Amino acid sequence: MDDERIDFFALDPKRDARRFERMVDTVVAGARLTPLSPLGLVHQLIVWGRAAVAISALAALTAWLPTLVRSSSNSGQSALGRGSDPVELLSSWARTGKVPAEVDPIEALGELDGR
Amino acid sequence: MVEEDDTVLVARARRGDGAALETLVRRYLRPAYAVALSVVRSVADAEDLAQDALVGALQRMDQCREPKRFARWLFQAVRHRAFNHLEQRKLRAALLEEETRGEMFGGDAAAVRLRRPLLEALEQLTETQREVVLLHDLEEWTHREIAAALAISEVMSRQHLFVSRHLLRQHLANGFHQERKHG
């Protein structure tokens, strides 16, 4: 077995202790030039910001979904179901003399407007 | 255990603890130099690259996702810088330039004379072999530490060390004999 170390003394930067200390000081000073804590804070804010946006989006979706479901079921219960011909419905009210609900003419005319 | 210490040190340094920062620099400046030297094979360039890479890594410590693997993360940064450096400058030109630099080690002529055969011998090895032998024989890291930092197995680290030492000794012995022959 080749158990003996290779002597790398000539390549060792610690060979000159003073010079190595200057290298250490240079690196430490360089690393301190950009304060670490504010960097960490900014990074954390970005991380938290992403999480906050995701949570807000989820909350908005949760709040909006029931409203959407309710409105679609209401329109399904109305006398003017989607796909009905508004002109025909208004004619039938005129013919039969049946008084429509207050909402129905508005919805029918709305459909005429292309809404 | 180095890994546990690194986790604590990185956490403290992230909070702006100057002592932790300095401990990390003292612990990793020479290993970073060893890795840079493995790539560029130039002492002066390796020293510059190690310092630059360490400063950069310490300034971006928040990007180190696994503080217990700080060494591996740092070495990747060192290699990245070293390869970029090689692309910018031709290796041969860099080596020639270094020979003329007398300021190394305070102009110690003996060290400069000894350095050249060592660098030439290192040329015979692969990059990973160079990293292993330098981290083990220069930095005195254990195979466990080397394996963790270089993402290789301990067995592979031992094999690399064995082969590297054998090749280095062979090359250095040949060089010695040739030097004696030529007077």
- pLDDT tens digits for range B55-103: 999 999 889 989 999 999 999 999 999 999 988 876 556 555 555 555 4
Residues of chain B with Cβ-Cβ distance to A20 below 8 Å are 29
Read off the pLDDT of each residue in B20-42 and give the average, rounded to a whole number. Answer: 95
pLDDT for the residue B108: 66
Determine phi and psi for B66, rounding to 5 degrees: -120, 90
Average pLDDT value for chain B: 87
Interface test with B, best of A8, A26, A44, A48 (most B CBs within 10 A): A8
Q: Which residues of A touch B (CB under 8 A)?
A: 1-2, 4-16, 19-20, 23-24, 26-28, 30-37, 39-40, 43
Residues of chain B with Cβ-Cβ distance to A6 below 8 Å are 133, 137, 164-165, 168-169
Reported ipTM: the value is 0.80
Alpha carbon dihedral B105, A31, B19, A36, in 10-degree steps, equals: -170
Read off the pLDDT of each residue in B107-113 and give the average, rounded to a whole number. Answer: 71
Using H for helix, E for strand and C for coil, what is the string for B138-175? Answer: CCCCCHHHHHHHHCCCHHHHHHHHHHHHHHHHHHHHHH
- pLDDT tens digits for range A72-107: 666 555 555 555 566 776 677 777 877 667 666 676
Three-class DSSP category at A29: helix
The interaxial angle of helices A103-112 and A86-96, nearest 10 deg, is: 140
pLDDT for the residue B3: 47
On whether the pTM is more than 0.80, the answer is no
pLDDT for the residue B7: 93
Cβ distance B59 to A33 less than 8 Å, yes or no, reads yes
Alpha carbon of B6: minimum distance to chain A alpha carbons (Å): 17
Query: What one-letter code names the amino acid at B36?
Result: A
pLDDT for the residue B174: 83
Task: State percent of chain B over pLDDT 90.
Answer: 68
The b/e string for B65-77 (b: 16+ C-beta within 10 A; e otherwise) is eebbbbbebbbeb
- Pairwise CA distance, residues B86 & B58, whole Å: 23
